[in-house]
Amino acid sequence: MTLPIKIQDHTFIMHPSGVLFWREKSMLIISDVHLGKVSHFRKFGAAVPQKAIQKNFELMNETITFFDPKTICFLGDLFHSFVNKEWDLFEKWVAKTSSELILVEGNHDIISPLRYEKLGVQVVPEIKSGGFLFTHHPEERKGYFNFSGHIHPAVRLRGAGRQSLRLPCFFKSMNQMIVPAFGEFTGTHTLKPKKTNEVFAITNDEVFQVKI
């Protein structure tokens, strides 16, 4: 179940996969996919199932089918490190994707932009559109509402007694929203919300607002 939110009179739809859809621009916003990370772990002996490599591509395809976006914007850390065998899968995925593809560079994006550009993927340091600013690292810039990734935000929910549960989340402040990490095996960083924050936790099939 998705959950819409109004920001500066525009509608953004939060999806349980962790993607965000900007309805007015038909733009799908995806952060921190970290393609290649599973292969990187397996290379160094980590017991990660081979089928996990396909999971990111399958989930991206599901969200694309759901939203049918004109543009897909990756908010950095699309590929985890250097080129490995997952790059071939990425090339095949791009060839089958009709949406315009834009990568906002993140700290893990060390593959040459020329490789992306050969595939038709535009690589940029940031995107400004109207009063919105799209970056990898969270930023505060006067006159803009910032969408970013990098943090892999999560929130800890506490129940009766000592019960607790940590879930990935969309973490919103007055002029910023941090988007959850999309990729498998990316890990999360638990944030402590203040009363001025809005937090939207995600499960496998739902997005819901957390009471602060």
Element (DSSP H or E) covering residue 89: helix 86-95
Q: Which of the following CATH numbers is that of domain 3-210: 3.60.21, 1.10.40, 1.10.10, 1.10.1660?
A: 3.60.21
More confident residue, 184 or 194: 194
- Band of residue 100 on the pLDDT scale cut at 50, 70, 90: very high
User: What is the mean predicted confidence (pLDDT) over 65-75?
Assistant: 98
More confident residue, 159 or 106: 106
**Cα–Cα nearest to 75, from 12, 2, 148, 183:** 148
- The CA-based dihedral angle spanning residues 181, 187, 192, 195, taken in that order and rounded to the nearest 10 degrees: 20
What is the structure's pLDDT at 34?
87
Higher pLDDT residue, 81 or 167? 167
| pLDDT for the residue 196 | 95
Q: What is residue 164's predicted lDDT score, i.e. its pLDDT?
A: 84
> Is the pLDDT at 91 greater than 90, yes or no?
yes
Is pLDDT above 90 for 208?
yes
Instruction: Identify the three-state secondary structure at position 111.
Output: coil
The conformation of residue 195, written as its DSSP 8-state character, comes to T
- The domain ranges of the chain are 3-210
Q: Return the amino acid letter for 39.
A: S
The whole-model pTM stands at 0.92
Q: What pLDDT, on a 0 to 100 scale, did the predictor assign at position 163? A: 78
pLDDT at 122: 98
Q: Could you report the per-residue pLDDT of 134-149, keeping only the tens digit for each? A: 999 999 999 999 999 9
The DSSP code for 128 is: E
Q: With 80 as the cut, is the pLDDT of residue 67 above it?
A: yes
pLDDT tens for each residue of 4-56: 999 999 999 999 999 999 999 999 999 999 887 655 454 544 445 566 678 88
pLDDT digits (tens, 9 = 90+) for 102-130: 999 999 888 999 999 999 999 999 999 99
CA–CA gap between residue 69 and residue 73 (Å, rounded): 10
The whole-number pLDDT of residue 47 equals 45
**What pLDDT shows up at residue 49?**
55
CA angle, 201 then 207 then 212, to 5° = 40
Burial class (CB in 10 A: 0-12, 13-18, 19+), 28: buried
